[in-house]
Amino acid sequence: MDVLSILKELSINTAVSGNEHTMSEYIKSMFEKYCDEAAVDSFYNILGVKKGLGNSNSKIMVSAHYDEIGFIVTGFEEGGFLRFSNIGGIDAKILLAQEVTIHGRKPLYGIIGAKPPHLLNAEETRKAVKIDELVIDTGLDAEELKKIVSIGDFITLKALPFSLKGNRLSSKSLDNRAGLCALALLLEELSELKHDADVYVLASTQEEVGLRGIQVAAYKLEPDLAIVIDACHGEISDSPKGEAYPLGKGPAIGIGPNLHRKLTNKIIDIAKEENIPYQTNIEPEDTGTEAWATQVSRAGIPTILLSIPLRYMHTTVETLDISDVKNIARLAARFISKGCREVGDLWCY
Amino acid sequence: MVLLKDLTLLNGVSGNEDAVRNYIKERAAASGAKISIDSIGNLIALKPGKKPKFKVMLSAHMDEVGFMVTGYGENGTLKFKNIGGIDERILPGKRVLVGSSAIPGVIGCKPIHMQERDERGNNIKLKSMYIDIGADKKEEAEKAAPPGDYIAFHSEFTEFGDGCVKAKALDDRVGCAIMLEMLSRQFEFDLYACFTVQEEIGLRGSEVAAYCVNPDIALVIEGTTCSDVPGVEKQEYSTILGKGAALAIMDRTAYYDRNLVRFIHEAAIKNNIKIQYKQTATGGNDAGKIQRSRSGVKVAALSVPCRYIHSPVSMMSKWDFDACRDIVGCVLGEFSENQGMIESIKQGGQANV
C-alpha cells in the first residue's frame, strides 16, 4: 500500500462535520477491499467488519473520525462576497489569504481576503481578526453567486499536500484522515495475521463538533473493546512541555482515567516485544478524543487511545511523519492478533 | 493566459530574479528583440523601429516579494525575514519554497488549542514565526537551506469566478506579460522594454535601466492595489476590480505627466477600452526613479488592479488585464503613427488622439 498517496488523496477529500456524505461512499469502498462487509449508517458513520477465526465471540472496534473542521455560509455581501461561520475549533488568524471550496450547487473556488495592511489602524494591526469580520471573495457578482450558493452551504479549506524532508507530509485535514489511513493499513496488516475476535473498523462523523458520530455507532455495535485512533499535538519549538509529542518517534499511547489501564499496559508490552517505537501521551482528564465518549457507552467499553503526533493542528499545514501512521497500524494489528487472546482476563480489576 | 501563468509560477524574489529573467530572455529573443542584461540584472529588450526618431521605454519589474533565510531554531526550523512589503498577519499556514532547489516548507504556528488567552487575541509577529521544512536538527536545516537562501510563496495559478485569476506575483508579472506581447509588434520608434529588478525593495533596477536607455518618454506597467472589499470605506478604494486598467495621477514616488496621462485616457475612451483613475495617491513604483533619471523623463503608469496584492492569493480580472494590454497597444500604435506626439509630450505640450 502506497501510504503517501493514500494520505494525500484522503486529505484533499472533503467532509466537514455534519456534511460527511460527500466522502462516505469513498470510505465504504476503501473498507470493502479488506472487509467481509461494510455499511453506512444514518449518521454517515461507516462500519466495516473483518471476521475473526470464529473461536471467539468478541468484538473489537477500531475507530477514527473522518470529519474535518470547516465553515458554513451565513450571508452575502455586496459584490460577490460571502460571510461565514466556523464548524469546529479554528484560529481566525490562520484564515487570512487562504483558499477555500464552497460546496454549493457546484463546487466553487473562493479566497478569504484580508483588508489591505495600509488601511489598518494600529489596533487592527495588533489585534487578531475575528471570523465574523472575514469574507470570502468568489470573483462572481452577487446575483450569479446566489444562483450557486445558499445560506447553510458548507465550506472547506483548500490546500494541496506538500511533501517535506524525510518522511513528513503537510496538508489540510490530516486530523484525522491520517487515522483513517491507519485503519486501512490495519486492515491490510490483519489480512496477513490471524485474529480470533471480529474486528470492526469505524470511520466516524461529527467528532469536531462534540464526539457525536461515535456515540451512536458505539451504542449500536456494543463492542467488547475499543481502540481509538486520532491525532495529538506534535512537538514544536513553542509548544508547552508535556502537551506535545515529537514526530517520527512512534504512536503516542494515551495514559489516564479515560483509558483502560491494563489494556494500555498490554499494548505497551506488545510494542516492546515487537520493537515498535512508541511514546506515552499523558492525559490526566478528558482526552478530547472519541475515547471520552466510547468509554461510557452503554455498560462501558474498555478503551485504548493511539495518537499520531501532528503539528499545526486545525490549519492548512497540518504536518506529520508517515512512519507514525504506519507504526500505529502495525501496533494495533499485533495487539489485536496477539494480545486479545487473553483480553477477557485483562478487563477485570 | 498561458504566458501569465508561466510567469507567475516562476520564483523571482528581489535580488534573485534569474528564473524569470531566463524565461523572458528566451521569449523576447524569439520576437526579434536585441537583448542586453546589465550589472544589476535588468533585462533590456530593444525592438528597433522602422524609422526611429524617438526612444519609448516600457518598464515592468520582474521581482516579487518574498523572504530570506536568516537563522535556525534548535529543532531544525528556519528563521526568516521579509523582502518587500508583506502583511505579517497573512503568513501563518502558508506554503513556501526555499532556496534554488525549491525545498518545500510551511510557515507553522502554535495550534489554537495550545494558545494562551493573549496569544489568541493578538497577531503573531514575523520575528516569532518559523518555517518547517521537515528537518529535526539545526545542522540539517542549515545544510539544506544556508543563510541567505531566498524563499518564495508557493501558489497555484487558478482561474475562477467571472474571469478572475488567483496567483502569486501578479505584481508585476502582469507587466512582464504585457511587455512581452508588445515586443512581438513592430513600431516606427525604438521600443525599449525594460524588465527591471529589485522594485519591491526601493525601485533599484529601474534607476539603472532608465539611465542606460535615456528614453524620450516612458510608461510603467504595473500590478496595483485594489481595495474594493467589504470592511473598506468606499473613498478608500484605490481601484475597482473589473472596471478596467488603472491610470495613476500621482503617488508617493511620482507626479505623472498630465499630458501623457490625458493622452492615455483619451486613447482608451476612443477605443472603447475600460479605464479607471487610481483613486488614492499611496504606494509607488518604478516611475519614481524613471521620472528623475538624467535630466528628467515624462512618465505615466498604467496598472492591472490586484486584490490581496503581495500575498500568495493575489487576484485580478482577466478583463482588466486585457484592457491594460489593449490600451498600451493603442497608445504605442498612436505614437507609431505620429512620432511628433512623442516630441510634443516630451516638450511639455499636449498631444491629441
Angle at A238 (CA atoms; ends A235, A243), nearest 5 degrees: 50
What would the 3-class secondary structure string for chain A be?
CCHHHHHHHHHHCCCECCCCHHHHHHHHHHHHCCCCEEEECCCCCEEEEECCCCCCCCEEEEEEECCECEEEEEEEECCCEEEEEEECCCCHHHCCCEEEEEECCCEEEEEECCCCHHHCCHHHHHECCCHHHCCEECCCCHHHHHHHCCCCCEEEEECCCEECCCCEEEECCHHHHHHHHHHHHHHHHHCCCCCCCEEEEEEECCCCCCCHHHHHHHHHHCCCEEEEEEEEEECCCCCCCCCCECCCCCCEEEECCCCCHHHHHHHHHHHHHCCCCCEEEECCCCCCCHHHHHCCCCCCCCEEEEEEEEECCCCCCEEEEHHHHHHHHHHHHHHHHHHHHHHHHHHCC
Q: Which residues of B touch A317 (CB under 8 A)?
A: 93-95, 106-108, 132
What confidence category does residue B347 fall into, taking pLDDT thresholds of 50, 70 and 90? very high
Cβ–Cβ contact A312 with B under 8 A: yes
Cβ–Cβ contact A75 with B under 8 A: no
**pLDDT of A348 higher than 60:** no
Specify the pLDDT at position B25.
98
pLDDT digits (tens, 9 = 90+) for B233-254: 998 899 999 999 999 999 999 9
Cell of A163: 511533501
- Partner-chain contact A128 B110, CB within 8 Å: no
Specify the pLDDT at position A52.
92
Rounded to an integer, the average pLDDT of A48-73 is 93
Domains for chain A: give ranges and CATH numbers: 3-68+172-347 (3.40.630.10), 70-158 (2.40.30.40)
- Partner-chain contact A317 B95, CB within 8 Å: yes
- State the CB neighbour count (10 A cutoff) for residue A342: 9
Rounded to an integer, the average pLDDT of A131-142 is 96
What whole-number percentage of chain B has pLDDT above 70?
100
Specify the pLDDT at position B167.
98
Distance CA B24, CA B41 (A): 12
Specify the pLDDT at position A118.
80
**pLDDT of B12 higher than 70:** yes
| Domain B66-153 CATH class label | mainly beta
**pLDDT of A12 higher than 80:** yes
- Partner-chain contact A115 B156, CB within 8 Å: no
Nearest Cα of chain A lies from the Cα of B29 at a distance, in angstroms, of: 36
Cβ under 8 Å to B: A residues 107-126: 108-111, 113-119, 125-126
Nearest Cα of chain A lies from the Cα of B18 at a distance, in angstroms, of: 25
Specify the pLDDT at position A342.
60
Nearest Cα of chain A lies from the Cα of B154 at a distance, in angstroms, of: 10
- Partner-chain contact A170 B106, CB within 8 Å: yes
Nearest to B93 among A94, A125, A128 (CB): A94
Q: Which residues of A touch B92 (CB under 8 A)?
A: 91, 93-94, 315
Rounded to an integer, the average pLDDT of B201-225 is 97
- Partner-chain contact B132 A98, CB within 8 Å: no
Cβ under 8 Å to B: A residues 278-297: 288
**pLDDT of A85 higher than 60:** yes
Rounded to an integer, the average pLDDT of A192-199 is 92
DSSP B218-280: EEEEEEEE---STTS-GGG-S--TTS-EEE-SB-SS-BPPHHHHHHHHHHHHHTT--EEE---
Where in the sequence numbering do the catalytic residues of B fall? 199
Beta bridge partners of A46: A40, A203
Q: Which residues of A touch B166 (CB under 8 A)?
A: 99, 109, 111
Domain assignments of chain B as residue spans, ordered by start: 2-64+168-346, 66-153
Where in the sequence numbering do the catalytic residues of A fall? 207
What confidence category does residue B74 fall into, taking pLDDT thresholds of 50, 70 and 90? confident
Strand order of the sheet with strand B164-167?
Answer: B158-160, B164-167, B314-317
DSSP H or E segment with residue B82: strand B78-83
Specify the pLDDT at position A347.
59
ipTM rounded to 2 decimals: 0.93
Specify the pLDDT at position A341.
63
**pLDDT of B179 higher than 80:** yes
Rounded to an integer, the average pLDDT of B154-174 is 98
What confidence category does residue A345 fall into, taking pLDDT thresholds of 50, 70 and 90? low
pLDDT digits (tens, 9 = 90+) for A319-341: 999 999 999 999 999 999 986 66
Cell of A27: 470510505
**pLDDT of B114 higher than 70:** yes
Nearest Cα of chain B lies from the Cα of A277 at a distance, in angstroms, of: 17
- Partner-chain contact A170 B114, CB within 8 Å: no
Specify the pLDDT at position A349.
58
Options 3.40.1260.10, 3.40.50.410, 3.40.630.10, 1.20.58.1610; CATH for B2-64+168-346 is 3.40.630.10
- Partner-chain contact A79 B230, CB within 8 Å: yes
Nearest Cα of chain B lies from the Cα of A5 at a distance, in angstroms, of: 17
Cβ–Cβ contact A160 with B under 8 A: yes
Interface test with B, best of A74, A77, A99, A165 (most B CBs within 10 A): A165
Low-confidence winner among A50-54, B98-102, B209-213 (lowest mean pLDDT): A50-54
Backbone angles phi, psi at B337, to 5 degrees: -70, -35
Q: Which residues of B touch A164 (CB under 8 A)?
A: 104-106, 132-134
Rounded to an integer, the average pLDDT of A179-205 is 95
pTM: 0.94
Q: Across all residues in chain B, what is the average pLDDT?
A: 96
Cell of B167: 496567483
- Partner-chain contact B307 A141, CB within 8 Å: no
SS3 B197: coil
Q: Which residues of A touch B169 (CB under 8 A)?
A: none
- Partner-chain contact B121 A313, CB within 8 Å: no
- Partner-chain contact B90 A97, CB within 8 Å: yes
pLDDT digits (tens, 9 = 90+) for A257-315: 999 999 999 999 999 999 999 999 999 999 999 999 999 999 999 999 999 999 999 99
Specify the pLDDT at position A60.
95
